[in-house]
């Protein structure tokens, strides 16, 4: 039986949300900006961190010059580089409630949630986290009102297409600008999508295949997006795959073990299939059928903030709590 340990500090469950203004997201460059280079290049103030420009690398490929400048951010006070999780998973909950509290339609909450995701992706890149898995649309979400489901899938498709096409069509000057400010975002993220894709619109399935193929060599961060996904579905499809192999004589019954099952799970797309840390927003204290096998010894962290209000401060709190824990994997305290 799967056993989940909710080793959550008391402060985590009673902490009051910290109000803070939200900007338009890490890829938006409208207002509230501060210069960081004498050349006038600017970055939104929400990244109120110390930026250091590394030496510029210049490569010549097929007769064209490629310029890349790396920016690095010092870790927030209290966080240790050697204790950073390799894989962080997030249940992005509360978009609908965020919208209702403001008298807005659910679509507004989902749009705001995309901006929070962009910021989280940027922070993961800057702080050395290698895999980020987000629960974007569960198998159970199909029972929601049709108009909301269609909007969610449309929003996901538009977000994927926008990032993919903008990268492909940028001029050399625009590309240089993005590489200087966001080297982790432009050309560094590998995108993988897990879940029952057979239920998705054909156009979205095609786009997912294109994006996965185009980004498969990127190594800065692997972003795994769970769409039409459930943990139970994941285990069932793995069992079916193993049963087919046993039926065809490719494996014997005695060959079936945890390692073989892991290889058949949807998270076989990553080198680090087991999240070190799971974050869930909106004060819900459950895992909601997400990565059930993979979360066996994951550290869990729950926050009161709704997903659109989750930002850098909340992420630092989660990472700080994670680094203060002793992971025993069933053993005793040392």
The verdict on whether 93 is a catalytic residue reads yes
Please give the model's pTM, rounded to 2 decimal places: 0.71
Spans of all domains in the chain: 71-324
- Encode the chain in three state secondary structure: CCCCCCCCCHHHHHCCCCCCCCCCCCCCCCCCEEECCCCCCEEECCCCCCEEEEEEEEEEECCEEEEEEEEEECCCCCCCHHHCCCEEEEECCCHHHHHHHCCCCHHHHHHHHHHHHHHHHHHHHHHCCCEEEEEEEEHHHHHCCHHHHHHHHHHHHHHHHHHHHHHHHCCHHHHHHHHHHCCCCCCCEEEEEECCHHHCCHHHHHHHHHHHHHHCCCCCEEEEEEEEECHHHHHHHHHHHHHHHHHCCCCCHHHCCHHHHHHHCHHHHCCCCCCCEEEECCCCCCCCCCCCCCCCCCEEEECCCCHHHCCHHHHHHHHHHHHCCCCCCCCCCC
Fold of 71-324: Undecaprenyl pyrophosphate synthetase (3.40.1180)
Q: What is the mean pLDDT of each run of 10 residues along the chain (334 residues)?
A: 39 42 36 32 37 37 39 82 98 94 91 92 94 86 72 74 51 36 57 90 87 89 93 96 97 96 97 98 95 98 97 98 90 68
List 48, 59, 93, 196, catalytic entry: 93
Identify the pLDDT of residue 323. Answer: 98
Identify the pLDDT of residue 333. Answer: 67
């Amino acid at each position: 039986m799967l056993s989940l340990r909710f080793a959550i500090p008391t402060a985590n469950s009673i902490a009051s949300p910290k109000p803070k203004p939200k900007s338009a997201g890490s890829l938006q460059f409208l207002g509230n900006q501060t210069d960081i280079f004498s050349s006038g290049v600017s970055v939104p103030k929400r990244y109120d961190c110390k930026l250091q420009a590394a030496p510029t690398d210049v490569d010549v490929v097929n007769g064209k010059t490629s310029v890349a400048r790396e920016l690095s951010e010092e870790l927030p006070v209290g966080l240790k580089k050697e204790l950073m999780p390799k894989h962080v998973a997030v249940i992005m909950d509360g978009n609908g409630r965020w919208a209702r509290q403001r008298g807005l339609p659910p679509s507004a909450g989902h749009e705001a949630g995309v901006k929070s995701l962009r910021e989280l992706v940027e922070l993961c890149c800057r702080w050395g986290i290698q895999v980020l898995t987000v629960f974007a649309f569960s198998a159970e979400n199909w029972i929601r009102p049709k108009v909301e489901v269609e909007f969610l899938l449309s929003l996901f498709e538009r977000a994927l297409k926008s990032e993919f096409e903008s990268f492909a069509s940028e001029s050399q000057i625009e590309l240089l600008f993005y590489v200087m400010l966001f080297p982790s975002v432009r050309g560094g993220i590998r995108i993988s999508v897990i879940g029952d894709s057979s239920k998705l619109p054909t156009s979205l399935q095609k786009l997912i295949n294109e994006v996965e193929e185009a980004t498969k060599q990127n190594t800065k961060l692997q972003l795994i997006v769970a769409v039409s996904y459930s943990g139970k579905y994941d285990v069932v499809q793995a069992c079916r795959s193993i049963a087919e192999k046993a039926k065809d004589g490719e494996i014997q019954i005695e060959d079936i073990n945890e390692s073989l099952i892991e290889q058949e799970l949807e998270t076989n797309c990553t080198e680090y299939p087991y999240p070190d840390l799971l974050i869930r927003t909106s004060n819900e204290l459950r895992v909601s059928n997400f990565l059930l096998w993979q979360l066996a010894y994951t550290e869990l962290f729950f926050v009161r903030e709704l997903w659109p209000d989750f930002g850098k401060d909340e992420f630092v709190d989660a990472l700080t709590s994670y680094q203060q824990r002793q992971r025993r994997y069933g053993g005793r305290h040392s």
